[in-house]
Amino acid sequence: MKPQAEWWAISVWEPWASALVDGLKPLENRHWHNAPALQAIARRLPGQRLVIHASKSNYDMRGFRFIRMKTGRSYPRHECALGALIGVVTVSDFVEWHHSDWYEDGAQALVVRDGVRFDHPITFTGRQGFMKLGPDTVPEVEAQLRAKGVAV
């Protein structure tokens, strides 16, 4: 793994965010064809960890049903930590197409692996696109990873 020079986060609706950090969802779909700045960040991420932020205001019932059908796992809204950093994944690739059932036609996708869920979600205000984590948040993220035995 490359040294983590800077920490980036992405906001994802639940229950998709939980499926990512629990290693069930192998990619995150995005429609960034007209967003070259976001694509540029995404292309720098392979080999890096990406922090997953669970959106505070959006919960996707279609996602709940899809995840339950594909994996047998349920993430009811009341069990999700909304408006918080909930874990990390390692980005393997940024692609225009993927063979996975989790791929959404017409999207670009961050292919991910090695999800790690935090024991204690970190309250955080998210936004669309990528968010660079500041010096007030990075130590909390790294402490949670170390507590799981993950080298940082």
- 129 lies in some domain: yes
Structural domains counted in the chain = 1
Q: Is 152 domain-assigned?
A: no
Confidence band of 2 (pLDDT split at 50, 70, 90): low
Structural contact between residues 27 and 110, judged by C-beta atoms closer than 8 angstroms = yes
CATH number at residue 34: 2.30.130.30
Is 51's pLDDT higher than 60? yes
59-83: per-residue pLDDT in tens? 999 999 999 999 999 999 999 999 9
pLDDT in tens, 92-149: 999 999 999 999 999 999 999 999 999 999 999 988 889 999 999 999 999 999 999 9
**126, 145 Cβ separation under 8 angstroms:** no
Q: Is the pTM of this model over 0.85?
A: yes
End-to-end CA gap in the chain: 10
* Residue 31 CB contacts under 8 Å (≥ 6 apart), including other chains: 106, 107, 108
Identify the domain containing residue 112 by its residue range.
8-147
